[in-house]
Every structure is written in structure tokens, then in C-alpha cells.
């Protein structure tokens, strides 16, 4: 993530975008260091992409830090840990660890997303034995008395282990306060989503991405304020509706595409009006219940409000239905499947999602990337051809 | 069912030096006949596929499921017939059909980056779903998603669900991330058996679960498991009477698939053990595709699945050089009996949970390394080989760290080759063969004192062409 935001000084959102950019620079470690300076003795814990119960960490005074690999940083040592046919993010994450970039973290959480992240958790235990490392097994059984019970025990275990390392004890009061803050973030992200949906010319996807990702290493409350500020500023923009095609982008929930790739898609005439790029920060549909027992509320939010994604079992649900709903809600013209090379969850999911699109007459295109992809010309041409085809198709329809 | 169909060379009853192929100094002798246990296994498989082919007429219910964490005894208690798509895929690989099946799936939009078992299965389905014995497989009445040790399983059955109009039941087995099974993990699996898996099976078969029947199955599993462990441990002998990898996949056939819990499985393992014991007495080695291998120069431990499309060629690369696999982790994917686990008829659901939780690929990377270290030491191995398959992130992610860590801990050098399970495009025969030979030469030089005892071993990479 290196590209600076391109907003001009006259742009009402310029200042907030600059702040967002500063938050994601340095792999998100700059805000961690300053937070630790201000909170002496408090813990900061990293987590790999996809859902992690950040709310629980905040409740015990721990700063959750989303780790998204190392983008286009040169990989020197990390490559010797993985074969060429394994995606890029585990090697770049190891690189960050071995080069001391993650030293300000006191631990790491590896949420259940795929076998690579799963095995990486064991590698981390061996490479950094002095640091806390936890694999978080998210339940695939969504009955509260079965999967819910298991998940609740997992959350308690995590809180207990962190408490033993210096975090505050988990209390109902602490968790309630954290849920309130998380709901502020939820509300702000919903506003951002609505703005993208209703006035996409005011919010390029690259900016929405930046502002969302900026929440990776700050508290939910601060992030909510940042997003609100951005939405308010973007609403003041006097842009014009462009003749772009509206697309939903899916499959990029873990290893992140280069920032330049998102910009290239925009330049190719695609307004990305919805995506799963930052699913980990935006995993829930709706608010976490503030009246329920707080731990039950966190568990139930996962069980009942988690968004459909490749690493989540959908039981008797219909594969692709959630994507079609997303397309409808975003009033999108088509779908771009963008998956990291060798990403099992995304690539195994894709044929089923494509079939759903085909069945519903939703046009789509697909490509793969790596976080360190440097050339976007081919993808840009492909996206350009796709947007032209969609426009033609629409004018013919 | 047999994981592999070994086709031994026909002999005339005499032991002779094998002809072209084995390098000078090897002592491959041509076998006399197929072992009785092999013939028994063949009959068991044929019988099982016959039953499958008439399952619908016979009113038998069919469950598709996976090898790791398979609930064979539970299915047996309901008289359901299991089909294991992984085994169909590897059989397709053995029969030279997987390349076409994979192409078929890729033409249909499946990525070249993902597990070739899944694509092979999808391709086979689209090509008529003809099983390894040439008979059409029945469609499933239930997709029993034993979600143990592999993320791809979930996607695989979601894909199959789109093809078949039948229920799926998920059994989520938590990962042993810290190398232990906690009471919470165990309870979670038991809860799912009670709340989801058993009720679903009861509904499909129209029968209530008979716990006595389940316990009988589990007791028979235990007997078969006892015998299998003795078979594995026989490789501590010199010469080893078994090959614990290539031959081993043949031995695990019945216990990892449709037969655990059956009288047939008990008979098979007791017969196999008797044959192995006979070979120990006569100092005879195991049968390989090229013949009986008694002169064993290198004892290796192997990590990772085999390349099914080139199974015999890969095996020959070992046996031609006098290398024998004394233990392997792939043969533990369906259960780590040699580490003490036995099915327990006294605690039917608890034991099923323990079984699912304990499979090899459900173990953390550090515990996998501990296990390999233990094998290298207890089987007095000269070296170890990692066959890293492109398809399988569950096995492969982290194997380079396994390599380094094992070398560090044991002082034994390792070799690392890359190939694939059933995608023939990723088996670079000449490359792998050259690298394996260089590795064995290095072991030889080391044995003769020409290379330092540890810390200087080369990492051997045999990548795809
Ligand atoms: S990019 Fe995909 S395969 Fe790689 S770690 Fe992330 S989810 Fe797993
Ligand atoms: S990824 Fe590995 S364990 Fe999973 S289905 Fe494929 S080969 Fe089997």
C-alpha cells in the first residue's frame, strides 16, 4: 500500500484521506507504536485477515491490529518458507516478523480461514516462541447450544490467555462498552456503503478502501469517527455521475490486491460499489445486540449475522444467493472475481458463484493477482473490455 | 478399498535378479504370487463396489465422505455404504484418467491453482461417475462432510451439493493448534454428532441408532488397529518386511475406507500381520512393483502424499536404489494408531470424536515435526524425504520449515521433491529421479564419512518440469 491519495487540496476529503493514508503506511505499525506509547504496558495483538473478534480484544484493553502481509515489499527470507505454489501473504507476513516489523505486537491471532493460515499458526509458534500465538477456530456449526457454546469457550480461552500476559480481565462492563464502540464503527461503515451505493461518483473504491483499512490498527471508536468524517466530507463533493459500470468485487478477502490495481480498475471504467476487501473489519450484517448478555451477543452476532464468504459454511443455504443479493443491493451491473493466486477458498468458491451469476444473468469477469503484482496493464485491459461489454449489453437490453 | 492396485510382475516361482531398471547392486527379486492378504483385499473391494452398484435396488443408503475423520463405524451401524471421493480420485490417477478429468473440470471454470482431487472428482462426475471397477457409482443419499484437517473438504462438498439433490451434514472438527485435544473440542464434536450427524442419518435410513451395534463395530476396529500397528512397527526390523509408504498405502486401504469395523477388515489385518511375521522370520523384504526388495541400503521416512499418476515409477525410483520407506505420515492421515489411539467400544461417541480430532493433518505443524522426529529416530532412518504436492495446502504449507527443523533436530539430512497427487502435468520424472539419486549418493558419502554428520546437507528440490 504505497500510493498516496490523489485528492486535491480543494477536496473536502483531502485531510481525512491523508490521515487514513498515514494510518496504513508502515504496514499499520505507526499507529500501534504511538498507541503503545500512550498506553504503557498495554498489549497489541495482530490478526490475519478475515473475521477476528476485535471487540473482545478491545474489551480487555488490547489493541487489535489487522495484518495484511507486506504488499509490494521485497521478500528475502519469507520465500524460503513456502513453495512457489502457495499464495503470497504467508511469506510476506513471515518476512515482516523476521525483519522486526511486527516487534511492537505482543501476539498474533490466526483465524480459521484456510489451511495456509492454519499451518502458519504453528510456524509462528516455532519462529517466535516468546510471543503469544493463537489459532482461532471459528465454528462451522451455527446452533447456539453447539457451535455457539464452543465459540464462547474459545473466546473465554483467548481472553484468559491474554489476561495471563497482562491484559485486563474480561468483564461484562468492559465488553458492553466495546460492543457500543464496535456498533459505532458498524454504523459508520454502513453509511459509507450507502454512499458508495447511492453516489458512487463521490467515493472512488480506492478511497473507501483506504478509509476502511485505516481502521486496522486503531480502536473501533476512532475508526468510526474517521469514517464518519470521510462520509461527511465526501458528501460535500460536487462530482458528477460518470458513465461507468457498477461492479461488485469479490474474492479479495485475505491477501489484498495492490492499491494500484484497484486504481487501475477505476481507470478502466469500473465503479466498485461493493467489495469484500476488508471483510475482517466489516464482517457483520447489522449491529451487535447491546441488551443481551454481552458475550452471548458477540457469539450470536457471529452465528447469525456473519456475512457469506468462502471460509464460512452455509449449510442448507444456496451458494451464491448472498452474492446476488449484494449485487442487487449495490445496484451493480456485474461482478469482478478477483482472487489472490493459489487462494484455495476464493478459487474453490468461484465456480459456484459464477454459476449463480450465470443463472441470474449477471455478467462477470475474473482475474488473479498477488499482493506484489507490479503490472496492471493486462487486468486494466480486461476490466476495460468487461465494462464496454456490460455497457453494450445494457444498451441492447 | 485398496488405495492402490499394485501390479506385481508375474514370476515363475523363482527368485531372480530383476532385469533392466534397478541399478547395479540392488537386490530386487521377482515375487512368486500375490499375497493372500492382497487377494483378500481385492475381493473386498470388488464386493463393496458390487454392493454400491446395486445400492439403489437393494434399498441401501449411500454416504459420500472423506478419509480423515471418517465415521465408518457409525455408517456401518446404520448399514450405509460409504463412497470416498478422495479414493476415487487417486484411483483415477492410478488408472491414467485423472488428466482428462482435471481438464474437463478446468474447462468448466475450475482454477488450475486448486486441489487436483476435487477437479478429478468433478471431471469424473461429469464423465459418467464410473468408479474404479468400471461400475457406475450411485449418487449419494448423504454428503457426510467430516471437516477434519482440510479446508478444501468444505468447498468440495459444496460443489457436490450443487450436483446432487441430497442433504449435507457438516461435522466440524476443531484443529489441534496447540497439539492437544481439549475437553471443549471433544465436547463440541460429540455435540455435533448428537445434534446433527446422527439425527440426519436416522432420518435418511429410517432407523434409530443402535448403540450396541456401533460398539460391536468399534470393538472390531480395535482388533484391526492392533494388527495394523504391529505391521507398522515391523519396519523397525532390518531388513524391513514392509515398505511403510508405497506399500503402506496399500495396507491402509481397508482401515481408512469402507471396512473399518467389519469382520473383513479384522481378517485382512490379521492375515497381513501373519505374512509380515513370516517375512521377518525369513529375512525377506516387501514386494515392490519390480519384485521383492530385501537388500535395503537406505531407510527413509516419508512425509506427504504420493504422486498417484506415477505411483509405480516413483516407487521404482526408491527400490531401484535400495531405498525403503520405513515409516510415513501419509499413511497416518486416517488415524494415528501407532501413537496409541484405539477406538473404544465403551465410549462410542467420545471415541469417534477422539478419532476425528487425532488425524495427522489435524495436528499442528509443531506436532507433525515431533512425530516425524520420532519416526526418524525410532525407525533408525538414514534420511527423510518430503514429497510436497502442489494440490494440498493442508500437507504442504510449512513443509520447508519441517525440512529445516528436522535436519536441525536429528542431524539427518532431508530431501524435498515437488509433484502433485493426480495432476500428471506436475510430475517431472527425470528431475525427481536425478535429485533422488543425488540425495541417496549424498547419504552414501555421508555414511562413508565423506560429508560432515550434520548441518551441511543439501536441500534437494525436484520441481515440476
Ligand atoms: S490468500 Fe487465500 S489461501 Fe492465502 S492465506 Fe489467504 S485465504 Fe489462505
Ligand atoms: S487439499 Fe489435501 S487433504 Fe484436502 S482434499 Fe486436497 S489433497 Fe486432500
**Pick from B202, B191, B215: which is nearest to B142 by CA?**
B202
Q: Record the cell numbers describing residue A153, joined without a space.
A: 469457550
Q: Using the CB atoms, write b or e for A108-143: b if 16+ within 10 Å.
A: bbbbbbbbbbbbbbbbbbeebeebbbbbbbbbbbbe
* Chain A stretch 35-64, residues whose beta carbon is closer than 8 A to a beta carbon of chain B: none
Q: How many residues does chain A have?
A: 397
C-alpha B188/C-alpha B172 separation (Å) is 8
Which of B118, B152, B397 faces A90 most closely, judged by CB atoms?
B397
- Checking if the pLDDT of A16 tops 80, the result is yes
Residue of B nearest to A309 (CA): B155
The total number of structural domains that make up chain A: 1
Q: How many residues does chain B have?
A: 465
Which site among A120, A122, A148, A309 would you substitute to test the B interface, given the most B Cβ atoms closer than 10 Å to its Cβ? Answer: A122
Query: Which ligand is nearest to the Cα of residue A309, counting in written order?
Result: 1
C-alpha A141/C-alpha A284 separation (Å) is 17
A339 ligand 1 Cβ < 6 A? no
A343 ligand 1 Cβ < 6 A? yes
Place of cell 476495460: A384
Continuous segment of H or E residues that includes residue A281? none
A338 ligand 1 Cβ < 6 A? no
A112 ligand 1 Cβ < 6 A? no
**Pick from B303, B301, B408: which is nearest to B363 by CA?**
B303
Query: Which ligand is nearest to the Cα of residue B148, counting in written order?
Result: 2
Q: Name, in order, each residue with C-beta under 8 angstroms of A291's C-beta and a sequence gap of 6 or more.
A: none
In a domain, A243, yes or no: no
A345 ligand 1 Cβ < 6 A? yes
C-alpha B76/C-alpha B259 separation (Å) is 9
Domain region containing A107: 28-171
In a domain, A346, yes or no: no
CA distance A381 to chain B (A): 21
3-state secondary structure B13-32: CCCCECCCCCCCCCCEECCC
Distance A347 CA to ligand 1 centre (A): 10
In the three-class reduction of DSSP (H, G, I as helix; E, B as strand; rest coil), residue A318 is classed as coil
Q: Complex ipTM, two decimals?
A: 0.95
**Pick from B42, B53, B38: which is nearest to B131 by CA?**
B53
Q: Using the CB atoms, write b or e for A282-307: b if 16+ within 10 Å.
A: bbbeebbbeeeebbebbbbbbbeebe
**Pick from B258, B262, B255: which is nearest to B231 by CA?**
B255
* Chain A stretch 157-186, residues whose beta carbon is closer than 8 A to a beta carbon of chain B: 157
State the CB neighbour count (10 A cutoff) for residue B411: 13
Distance A106 CA to ligand 2 centre (A): 33
Paired with B417 in beta bridges are B387, B462
A255 ligand 1 Cβ < 6 A? yes
Phi, psi of B323 (to 5 degrees): -100, 130
Confidence of residue A123 (pLDDT cuts 50, 70, 90): very high
Q: What is the pLDDT of residue A316?
A: 82
C-alpha A63/C-alpha A216 separation (Å) is 10
Probe residue for ligand 1, chosen from A138, A254, A337 as the CB with the greatest number of ligand atoms within 8 Å = A254
In a domain, A41, yes or no: yes
Which of A90, A157, A344 faces B114 most closely, judged by CB atoms?
A344
In a domain, A45, yes or no: yes
Q: What is the pLDDT of residue A7?
A: 54
Average pLDDT of adjacent 10-residue blocks, chain B of 465 residues: 37 32 41 79 94 95 96 97 96 96 96 97 94 90 96 96 93 97 98 98 98 98 98 98 97 94 97 98 93 93 97 95 97 94 98 97 97 98 97 97 97 96 95 95 90 50 39
Quote the pTM value: 0.94
Mean pLDDT (chain A) is 94
Q: Taking residues A311-339, report their average pLDDT.
A: 95
C-alpha B239/C-alpha B282 separation (Å) is 10
C-alpha B34/C-alpha A235 separation (Å) is 79
Query: Which ligand is nearest to the Cα of residue A114, counting in written order?
Result: 1
Q: Record the cell numbers describing residue B301, joined without a space.
A: 521416512
Which of A112, A141, A348 faces B155 most closely, judged by CB atoms?
A348
Q: Please give the full DSSP string across B337-382, using - where no structure is assigned.
A: GGGT----TTSHHHHHHHHHHHSGGGB-HHHHHHHHHHHHHHTT-S
First CA to last CA distance, chain A: 39
In a domain, A59, yes or no: yes
CA distance B463 to chain A (A): 10
In a domain, A166, yes or no: yes
Query: Which ligand is nearest to the Cα of residue A119, counting in written order?
Result: 1
By CB neighbour count within 10 A (0-12 exposed, 13-18 middle, 19+ buried), where does B453 fall? exposed
Distance A382 CA to ligand 1 centre (A): 24
pLDDT per residue as tens digits for the range A57-66? 999 999 999 9
Place of cell 505507526: A30
C-alpha A257/C-alpha A273 separation (Å) is 16
Which site among B107, B172, B362, B405 would you substitute to test the A interface, given the most A Cβ atoms closer than 10 Å to its Cβ? Answer: B172
3-state secondary structure A28-85: HHHHHHHHHHHCCCCCEEEECCCCCCHHHHHHCCCEEEECECECCCCCCCHHHHCCCC
- Report the CATH number at residue A144: 3.40.50.11890
Q: What is the pLDDT of residue B461?
A: 46
CA distances from A210 to A22, A233, A335, B392 (A): 10, 15, 21, 34
Do A91 and A117 contact (CB within 8 A), yes or no? no
In a domain, A113, yes or no: yes
Instruction: Tell how far CA B256 is from the center of its chain.
Output: 8
Which ligand 1 atom is nearest residue A115's CA?
8
In a domain, A58, yes or no: yes
A119 ligand 1 Cβ < 6 A? no
* Residue spans per domain, chain B: 14-461
Amino acid at each position: 500500500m504505497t500510493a498516496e491519495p490523489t485528492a486535491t487540496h480543494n477536496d473536502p476529503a483531502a485531510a481525512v484521506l491523508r490521515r487514513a493514508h498515514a494510518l496504513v503506511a508502515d504496514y499499520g505499525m505507526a499507529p500501534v507504536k504511538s498507541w503503545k506509547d500512550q498506553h504503557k504496558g498495554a498489549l497489541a495483538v495482530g490478526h490475519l485477515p478475515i473475521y477476528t473478534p476485535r471487540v473482545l480484544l478491545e474489551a480487555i484493553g488490547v489493541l487489535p491490529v489487522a495484518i495484511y502481509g507486506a504488499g509490494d515489499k521485497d521478500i528475502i527470507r519469507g520465500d524460503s518458507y513456502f513453495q512457489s505454489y502457495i499464495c503470497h501473504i504467508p511469506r510476506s507476513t513471515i518476512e515482516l516478523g523476521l525483519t522486526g516489523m511486527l516487534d511492537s505486537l505482543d501476539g498474533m491471532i490466526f483465524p480459521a480461514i484456510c489451511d495456509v493460515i492454519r499451518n502458519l499458526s504453528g510456524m509462528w509458534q516455532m519462529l517466535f516462541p516468546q510471543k503469544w500465538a493463537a489459532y482461532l477456530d471459528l465454528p462451522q456449526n451455527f446452533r447456539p447450544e453447539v457451535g455457539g457454546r464452543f465459540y464462547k469457550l474459545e473466546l473465554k480461552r483467548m481472553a484468559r490467555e491474554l489476561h495471563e500476559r497482562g491484559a485486563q480481565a474480561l468483564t461484562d462492563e468492559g465488553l458492553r462498552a466495546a460492543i457500543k464502540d464496535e456498533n459505532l464503527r458498524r454504523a459508520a461503515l454502513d453509511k459509507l456503503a450507502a454512499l458508495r451505493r447511492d453516489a458512487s461518483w463521490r467515493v472512488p473504491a480506492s478511497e473507501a478502501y483506504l478509509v476502511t483499512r485505516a481502521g486496522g490498527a486503531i480502536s473501533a471508536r476512532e475508526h468510526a469517527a474517521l469514517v464518519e468524517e470521510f462520509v461527511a466530507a465526501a458528501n460535500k463533493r460536487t462530482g458528477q455521475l460518470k458513465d461507468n459500470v457498477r461492479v461488485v468485487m469479490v474474492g479479495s478477502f485475505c491477501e489484498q490486491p495492490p492499491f494500484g490495481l484497484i486504481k487501475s480498475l477505476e481507470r478502466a471504467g469500473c465503479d466498485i460499489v461493493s467489495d469484500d476487501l476488508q471483510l475482517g473489519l466489516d464482517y457483520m450484517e447489522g449491529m451487535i445486540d447491546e441488551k443481551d448478555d454481552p458475550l452471548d451477543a458477540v457469539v450470536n452476532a457471529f452465528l447469525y449475522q456473519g456475512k457469506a464468504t468462502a471460509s464460512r459454511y452455509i449449510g442448507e443455504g444456496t451458494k451464491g444467493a448472498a452474492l446476488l443479493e449484494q449485487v442487487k443491493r449495490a445496484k451493480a451491473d456485474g461482478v469482478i472475481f478477483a482472487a489472490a493466486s493459489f487462494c484455495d477458498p476464493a478459487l474453490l468458491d468461484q465456480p459456484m458463484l459464477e454459476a449463480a451469476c450465470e443463472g441470474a444473468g449477471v455478467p462477470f469477469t475474473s482475474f488473479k493477482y498477488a499482493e506484489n503484482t507490479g503490472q496492471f496493464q493486462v487486468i486494466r485491459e480486461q476490466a476495460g473490455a468487461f465494462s464496454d461489454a456490460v455497457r453494450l449489453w445494457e444498451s441492447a437490453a | 478399498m485398496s488405495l492402490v492396485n499394485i501390479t506385481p510382475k508375474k514370476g515363475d516361482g523363482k527368485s531372480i535378479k530383476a532385469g533392466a531398471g534397478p541399478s547395479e547392486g540392488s537386490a530386487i527379486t521377482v515375487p512368486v504370487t500375490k499375497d493372500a492378504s492382497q487377494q483378500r483385499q481385492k475381493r473386498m473391494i470388488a464386493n463393496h463396489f458390487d454392493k454400491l452398484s446395486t445400492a439403489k435396488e437393494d434399498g441401501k443408503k449411500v454416504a459420500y465422505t472423506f478419509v480423515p475423520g471418517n465415521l465408518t463405524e457409525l455408517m456401518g451401524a446404520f448399514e450405509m455404504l460409504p463412497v470416498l471421493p478422495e479414493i476415487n480420485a487417486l484411483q483415477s490417477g492410478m488408472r491414467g484418467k485423472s488428466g482428462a478429468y482435471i481438464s474437463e473440470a478446468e474447462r468448466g471454470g475450475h482454477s488450475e491453482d486448486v486441489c487436483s482431487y476435487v477437479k478429478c472428482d468433478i471431471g469424473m462426475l461429469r464423465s459418467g461417475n464410473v468408479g474404479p471397477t468400471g461400475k457406475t457409482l450411485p449418487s449419494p443419499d448423504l454428503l457426510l462432510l467430516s471437516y477434519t484437517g482440510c479446508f478444501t473438504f468444505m468447498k468440495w462438498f459444496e460443489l457436490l451439493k450443487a450436483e446432487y439433490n441430497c442433504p449435507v451434514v457438516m461435522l466440524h472438527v476443531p484443529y489441534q493448534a496447540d497439539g492437544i485435544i481439549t475437553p471443549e473440542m471433544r465436547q463440541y464434536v460429540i455435540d455435533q454428532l448428537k445434534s446433527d450427524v446422527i439425527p440426519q442419518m436416522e432420518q435418511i435410513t429410517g432407523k434409530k441408532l443402535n448403540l450396541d451395534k456401533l460398539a460391536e463395530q468399534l470393538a472390531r476396529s480395535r482388533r484391526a488397529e492392533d494388527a495394523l500397528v504391529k505391521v507398522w512397527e515391523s519396519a523397525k526390523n532390518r531388513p524391513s518386511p514392509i515398505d511403510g509408504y508405497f506399500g503402506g498405502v496399500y495396507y491402509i486401504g481397508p482401515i481408512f475406507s469402507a471396512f473399518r469395523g467389519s469382520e473383513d477388515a479384522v481378517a485382512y489385518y490379521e492375515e497381513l500381520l501373519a505374512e509380515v511375521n513370516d517375512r521377518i522370520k525369513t529375512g525377506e523384504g516387501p514386494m515392490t512393483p519390480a519384485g521383492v526388495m530385501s537388500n535395503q541400503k537406505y531407510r527413509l521416512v516419508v512425509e506427504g502424499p504420493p504422486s498417484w499418476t506415477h505411483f509405480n515409477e516413483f516407487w521404482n525410483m526408491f527400490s531401484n536404489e535400495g531405498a525403503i520407506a520405513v515409516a510415513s505420515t501419509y499413511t497416518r492421515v486416517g488415524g494415528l494408531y501407532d501413537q496409541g489411539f484405539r477406538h473404544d467400544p465403551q465410549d462410542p461417541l467420545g471415541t469417534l470424536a477422539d478419532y476425528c480430532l487425532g488425524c495427522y493433518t489435524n495436528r499442528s505443524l509443531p506436532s507433525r515435526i515431533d512425530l516425524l522426529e520420532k519416526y526418524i529416530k525410532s525407525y533408525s532412518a538414514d534420511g527423510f524425504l518430503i514429497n510436497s504436492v502442489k494440490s494440498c495446502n493442508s500437507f504442504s504449507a510449512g513443509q520447508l520449515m519441517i525440512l529445516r527443523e528436522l535436519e536441525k533436530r536429528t542431524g539427518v539430512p532431508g530431501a524435498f521433491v515437488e509433484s502433485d497427487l493426480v495432476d500428471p502435468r506436475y510430475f517431472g520424472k527425470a528431475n525427481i529421479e536425478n535429485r533422488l539419486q543425488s540425495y541417496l549418493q549424498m547419504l552414501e558419502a555421508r555414511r562413508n564419512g565423506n560429508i560432515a554428520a550434520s548441518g551441511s546437507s543439501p536441500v534437494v528440490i525436484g520441481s515440476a518440469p
